[in-house]
Structures are given as C-alpha cells and as structure tokens.
Amino acid sequence: MQSLVDKMRFLYKPYVLAVLTIGYIAGELGHYLIGVTSKATAIELDYGDHACQQNHTEVHRHLLPQQCADIELEHECHGQHVNGTVYCEWNYNGLGLEYQLLAGPSFIAVFTVMGVVLGFAADRFNRVRLLAICTLVFGIAIIFQGTVKDYWQLILLRMVMAAGEAGCNPLATGIMSDIFPESKRALVMAIFNWGIYGGYGIAFPVGRYITKLDIWGQGWRICYYGTGVLALIMAVLTGTTLKEPERQSIGEEASGKGKVSLVKALMQPRVILLMIAASIRHCGGMTFAYNADLYYNIYFPDVDLGWWLFAVTIGIGSIGVVIGGIVSDKFVAKMGIRSRVACLAISQLIATPFAFGSVYFDPLWAMITLGISYFFAEMWFGIVFAVLVEIVPLQVRSTTIGVFLFVMNNIGGNLPILVDPLAKAIGYRGSVMFFYAGFYGISTVLFFITMFFMDGPKPEPAISGDEHRNQVEMGHENNTFQPDDFINGIGGPKTNGHNIVNVRPSESSRL
C-alpha cells in the first residue's frame, strides 16, 4: 500500500512556494511599515519636517475655509478655526530628508551589497540553510526596531534588516528554479515576488489601525513586534521542513563542461537593457510605496483610505500578478522569450495613464484608477525574473540575480530620495507624480526597446518524448541560453552549426 507520505508528496512544491512567499511577505512588511508609521515614529523619535496638518477633528475638508496643507507658517496654522474649533496643528508630518534616508538609502545601501554577496554564496552553498539564517536575521532586526529610542538606532536596525532580507530573492529564486518546470516559471516567480506587494499592502492596515489601537500602550511598536515574530516562525519552517533541491546544470558541450563567464553573462546587451528598464520601473513603484500613505493623508486627511489601499494592493494587485505570469507562460511557449518582454512593455503602457490618475483625482477616482493601474503594473516583477533566469546560464543564475538586484535597487531604490527636493520646488503632488507615473512611462519605452534584443520562437529540440518529459519534470527545459555564446564569445560562431544543451544534475553544494 502506498504510504501517506508518498500520497502527499504532490503538496511539497506548493508548500515550498507558500513558505518562501510568506517569509518574503514578512520581510517586505517590515521594510514598508516605516512608510505608514512614519508620522507616529517621527513624533516619538524627533526627526523629519514640521508642517501644518489637519488635526483629525470632525470638520470635513471641503468645508474648511483654507486647507492646512497650504499653510507654511506655524502661527498661521494655529490660527485656523471653524466656529471656534481649531482644525490645524503644527507637528511632524513624517516626511523630510531624514525620512527619505530612512526609507530608502539606509536600507538599499546594505540590501544591494549583500544581495550580490549572497548571490555568490547561493551558487556555492546550501541555499535552504542560508535562507533560514537570512530570515532569522531580518526577523530579529524587525523585532528590535520596535524597541528603539533614537533615530540612529532605527537607521542601524533597518540596515541589519536589509542584510538579512537581501538573501530572500536570489536564494528563493534559485530554489524554485530547481523545483518548478519552465512551463510554470513566470507564474511561480510572480506569486513569490508578489510578496513585495503583499507586504506593502498589508502595511497599510497594520501600520494605521494597529498603531491606533495602542495595544499594551505600545502604539506603532507592536506592529514591528508582530511582524518580527512571523518572520521567526518562517525561519524555523524554512530550516526544518525544506530540503535543498538538486541543482541542474546546462551549457555543457559534448566533449566536456565549458566554463561560464559571469561578466559575459551580465554584459549581454539584452541583460543590460533589461536591467536599466527594470531599474526605472522599480523607481516608480518604490516612490509610490514610500509616499502613498503620507500623500493621501496630507491631501485627503478626512478620508480614511487605509482599507482601500489594502484592498487595491492585495486584491487587484494579486490578480494582476497571477494573470501576468499565466499570460507570459502561455505566450512564451509559442512566441519565444521576446513575448515575455512584450507583456512587460504592454502592461506598463496601459498602467501609466491610470497611475497619473491615482495622484491627480480626488479619493474615489484616485482609488479606481489606482486599481486599474495596479492590475496591469504589477505584472512586471515576476516576468522580469522569469526572463532573467532564461537568458543567463544556470551555473551563475543566483549570482546574476544578486548583481541584477544590486543595480536595480541602487537606481530604483535611491532615486526616490529626490522626491523631497523636487517637492520643495514644484510641490509634493507634482514630485510624486513625476517619479511615480512618469517613470512608469519611461520604463515602457525601455521595455519595448529591450524586446527587440530577445530571441523569437525556437524550433522544438530533436529529442525523444521521454527525454523531453524528463527535462520538463526536472524543471529545466531551458533552451533560451546558448552555452556556446560563452565558449566562443557573445555572437560568435556556433560549434558545428548547432546549439548543444545537455541536462545533467550536478552535486548540490553543502555548507
């Protein structure tokens, strides 16, 4: 009789995806909480800008003789009232250069460097153990963020958190690529990378409403305690219930294994263009992520949009992520890798005007256009990494992902710091609109250009049905990367006029 373990074996792959994704969500929740709790954090830790703000009285914004956000002087702010009720206050608003440094560069500086280091490590050591350690590190750092007394302590702990979280993407991507077949790669990558938007979306209700509950008198701090504990649970599950998958190697000639150059892999024009386009798109997304809650609180202080932002991000964003992966996987089978990049370009093109609408209209239409924008915009992340793992050799896959993230996050993660100086010149709304929706539009053009550097549909390989089935089951029906490009040089002549791709499992590295 077949054992229960054998009967339940089919659940292992979905379980791995669930554990990796929930762990990623915990890390990203810790990452983005600062954008929602920043005002409360700034008031308590004494950092950032002061500004005139509506003080949450029952007076509705449209009935006010003057909007608080339009007042620049403190004494004028205190003098605003309706029927004797003062409706403005002069206090920390959670913004300013110190906030932008806290949200972006302090995290990105460590995240990008450690991403490269852990990418190299992932190609050489046991990825499951490394991922468990990384999750443990950022979980502890998030918990300690709830205990800080000074601004510098928060900066330091966000750097530690970044060091741990940097391993999530390259390590988990390598694990999943060895478990799931190419036919499901974009969908799986999309679901995993949805963890970014899942954590970001959950940050709205957690940061807003849990802070207001003031559980045990901890205010915003309890948000970090709970998030850190979730991360620790996922670290334990990762280390004790997941196993290191057997690595598969491609790109070997019949006469022996050819060396793969990381530099040549990265210097392919299509990789460089994809990296630049992804960096610009990432800047647009990070700008909105770091500023959405603060933006809507400043311009619509009498409208509670916390649950709307949660619903749009989690609900509509999730649908977009899944559909993007499915569409990409269906098209690539018929039209080649170029079709994945076409999906990227078209989705961002559609999303761009609606992104403008989300920071132009009043609350109702802002949320409607944001939902439409999210549906198309959030297709991008999983597809980008599905493309990346298909155009570079598997021997340097995790390292390449680490370097790719290093560049993407240094550009996309640090450029939003310019929101503050531009806001002082043209206004906060105009600044957010430029770096958010404007960069969506720029990325659209770059993705279209990148598409023409990708391969079109390829003929079916001349292998038997059994061999083809075995390759698909092993998760490595990857015919996009041409190994002799790296033996004879990019664009050089092919050996005997053929592309030789042999699939052979290599021994897994161990710590």
Total number of domains in the chain = 3
**pLDDT at site 281:** 94
Q: Quote the CA–CA distance of 12 and 474 in Å, as a whole number.
A: 15
Q: Based on the fold, state whether residues 284 and 375 are members of the same structural domain.
A: yes
Six-digit token string for 145: 């963020």
Closest-CA residue to 114 (of 403, 463, 442)? 403
Asked if the model's pLDDT at residue 283 lies above 90, the reply is: yes
8 phi and psi, to 5 degrees? -95, 5
Average pLDDT of the segment spanning 27-32: 92
Structure confidence by residue, pLDDT tens digits, 388-427: 878 887 677 777 877 888 888 888 888 888 888 898 889 8
Phi and psi based region of residue 251 (left: phi greater than 0; alpha: psi -120 to 50; beta: remaining) = left
Query: To which residue do tokens 């390989």 refer?
Result: 461
Six-digit token string for 456: 């079109």
> Does any domain span residue 487?
no
**pLDDT at site 29:** 93
Q: Based on the fold, state whether residues 200 and 112 are members of the same structural domain.
A: yes
Kindly report the number of other CB atoms within 10 A of residue 255's CB atom.
8
CA 47, 53, 58, 62: dihedral to nearest 10 degrees?
-150
Question: Which three-class secondary structure state does DSSP give residue 88?
Answer: strand
> Does any domain span residue 215?
yes
366-375 contact pairs (CB < 8 A, 24+): 366/296, 367/305, 367/308, 367/309, 367/312, 370/312, 371/312, 371/316, 374/312, 374/313, 374/316, 374/317, 374/320, 375/316, 375/317, 375/319, 375/320, 375/323, 375/351
Q: What is the mean pLDDT of the chain?
A: 80
CATH number of the structural domain spanning residue 116: 1.20.1250.20
Q: Based on the fold, state whether residues 291 and 408 are members of the same structural domain.
A: yes
| Burial status of residue 354 (CB atoms within 10 A of its CB: 0-12, 13-18, 19 or more) | buried
> Does any domain span residue 499?
no
**Alpha carbon separation from 303 to 314, 356, 360, 369, 469 (Å, rounded):** 20, 20, 16, 17, 56
Q: Based on the fold, state whether residues 15 and 76 are members of the same structural domain.
A: no
Closest-CA residue to 381 (of 193, 210, 243, 147)? 193
Q: Based on the fold, state whether residues 66 and 127 are members of the same structural domain.
A: no
> Does any domain span residue 235?
yes
> Does any domain span residue 256?
no
Q: Based on the fold, state whether residues 23 and 58 are members of the same structural domain.
A: no
Domain boundary among 40, 68, 91: 91
Six-digit token string for 341: 């990049």
The answer for residues whose C-beta is within 8 angstroms of residue 195's C-beta and 6 or more apart is: 21, 22, 23, 24, 25, 27, 28, 168
Structure confidence by residue, pLDDT tens digits, 143-183: 999 999 999 999 999 999 999 998 888 888 888 878 887 67
Q: Based on the fold, state whether residues 97 and 87 are members of the same structural domain.
A: no
Q: Angle formed by the axes of helices 337-358 and 439-451, to 10°?
A: 170
Average pLDDT of the segment spanning 425-434: 92
Average pLDDT of the segment spanning 357-374: 92
**pLDDT at site 312:** 85
- Helix (H) or strand (E) run with residue 273 in it: helix 269-299
Asked if the model's pLDDT at residue 461 lies above 60, the reply is: no
Six-digit token string for 157: 């702990």
More confident of the two residues 428 and 470: 428
Q: Based on the fold, state whether residues 184 and 228 are members of the same structural domain.
A: yes
**pLDDT at site 8:** 57
Six-digit token string for 320: 């977009």
Structure confidence by residue, pLDDT tens digits, 493-510: 333 333 333 333 333 333
> Does any domain span residue 231?
yes
Phi and psi based region of residue 420 (left: phi greater than 0; alpha: psi -120 to 50; beta: remaining) = alpha
Structure confidence by residue, pLDDT tens digits, 224-271: 999 999 999 999 999 999 988 876 543 333 334 456 677 888 888 999
**pLDDT at site 494:** 38
Looking at 113-157, which runs of residues are DSSP E strands?
A: none
**pLDDT at site 273:** 93
**Residue 409's domain spans which residues?**
268-457
> Does any domain span residue 194?
yes
Single-letter amino acid code for the residue at 74:
E
Average pLDDT of the segment spanning 176-197: 76
Asked if the model's pLDDT at residue 462 lies above 60, the reply is: no
- Pair 157, 120: CB distance under 8 Å: no
Q: Quote the CA–CA distance of 429 and 419 in Å, as a whole number.
A: 10
**HSE-up of 427 (CA within 13 Å, CB side)?**
10
pTM over 0.85: no
Q: Based on the fold, state whether residues 111 and 85 are members of the same structural domain.
A: no
**pLDDT at site 233:** 96
**pLDDT at site 266:** 84
Q: Based on the fold, state whether residues 288 and 376 are members of the same structural domain.
A: yes
Confidence band for 476, pLDDT divided at 50, 70 and 90: very low
Q: Based on the fold, state whether residues 286 and 395 are members of the same structural domain.
A: yes
Q: Based on the fold, state whether residues 289 and 426 are members of the same structural domain.
A: yes
Share of the chain above pLDDT 90, in %: 30
> Does any domain span residue 149?
yes
More confident of the two residues 69 and 211: 211
